[in-house]
Amino acid sequence: MIHNIASFFSKEISMPLFDGGPGISYKLEHLAKEHQINAEDAHDAIADCNLMISLCEIIKDKLPDVFQSFINTSTKQGIKELLYSDSFLALGEIHRRHTFQYPVVFCGSDPSRPNEIVLFDLSYDPEDILDLDYSEINKLIQAKGRDGPLKKYKINKTIPVCPSQLVKNKEIFDISFQELQERADRVTNDKDFQSKISQAMEDRMMSFPEPEFIEASIYSGGFPSQRDKDLMQEFHLTENKDHLIKISRNFEDDRFKIFAERIICAQYAPDVPEDINVRYNELLQERTTTDGKWGSITKSIIEIDEMLEKDLSDEDCKILKATKNKLSSMVVGD
């Protein structure tokens, strides 16, 4: 909802700037401050719920029809009814802190995976696309990225789209609403084109990107061989460090070898072979000094310092200071 509001209704619901602009922020705590909502306890689960309720009340008061539209499309049935409506739709997205606006119309779905649909970007003249043969349409469907006339979405996830009639700025697309509606009608009435879209969607070879971190590969890299299964069982039964190291070096799958090394180092480092110790220290360096999915020690210490500035009990301060000391001692090289 916020993506769409930022794209089409920022005059009614102002968006906070990120670091003074020109990019915007749609973090809940920033939106709360922008609209004079008390955000003192931001990131507390209950407090965040209250922030969201307060923000929704403001949106409902200033944009009642837009708010109701998103309530309606919060269900599969609701989004389907909108997709199959007669008018073209206004799709709004926030990407890298900037808004993007697209006039779109539904043009097909995957018969084998009905949640997956395709929207036609009416910024493109349908006359250039509708007569493409199947192979050319299939290339468009297979293409990755945000550019192009065909945009793939899943209706079981929120799609930031609303009826175009709700958009007050009729010049936002650089093409008249009348022309966009005529283009939408041409797409909707071309059943052969929609059939080719649906066939291309069904014919896709589903591929998934390789996980960035090894922890995410535990389910994507296949099952362990019988040999590795036997080594796993032996690994968990022994308490001899040298035998654990020997087992770790004999795993066929590199994933299990790395996980075994980490377990060994957690218990016995630095009294382990140099190559294993080097890999483990490189892991610690990465996980404690970079802001990955795990955060960083520096960031955590800053957050603790901010918390210590608040009016806390002696016990809370004691816990936070002890935590800070522990984190500081974990920094590699200290």
* Boundaries of every domain in the chain: 1-72, 75-207, 214-330
Which positions ≥6 away from 202 have C-beta within 8 Å? 110, 111, 112, 113
HSE (side-chain half, CA atoms, 13 Å) at 92: 23
Task: Supply the pTM of this predicted model.
Answer: 0.61
CB atoms within 10 A of CB 136: 12
Q: pLDDT at position 331, please?
A: 67
Per cent of the chain over pLDDT 90 is 69
pLDDT per position as a tens digit, 28-82: 889 999 999 987 776 678 888 889 999 999 999 999 999 999 999 999 899 999 9
Q: What is the rounded distance in angstroms from the CA atom of residue 79 to the CA atom of residue 16? A: 28
Q: What is the pLDDT of residues 114-124, one digit of tens each?
A: 899 999 999 99
Reading across the β-sheet that carries 113-121, which strands appear in turn? 150-154, 113-121, 98-110, 89-95, 161-163
298-316 pLDDT, tens digit per residue, is 888 999 999 999 888 999 9
Spelled out in words, what is the top-level CATH class assigned to the domain 75-207? Answer: alpha beta
Report the C-alpha gap between 211 and 218 in whole angstroms: 10
pLDDT at position 334 is 46
Q: What is the mean pLDDT of residues 218-241?
A: 87
Percent of the residues in the chain that have a pLDDT greater than 70, as a whole number: 96
Specify the pLDDT at position 299: 86
pLDDT in tens, 184-222: 999 999 999 999 999 999 987 655 566 777 777 776 667
Mean pLDDT value of segment 247-271: 92
Question: Do 97 and 105 contact (CB within 8 A), yes or no?
Answer: no
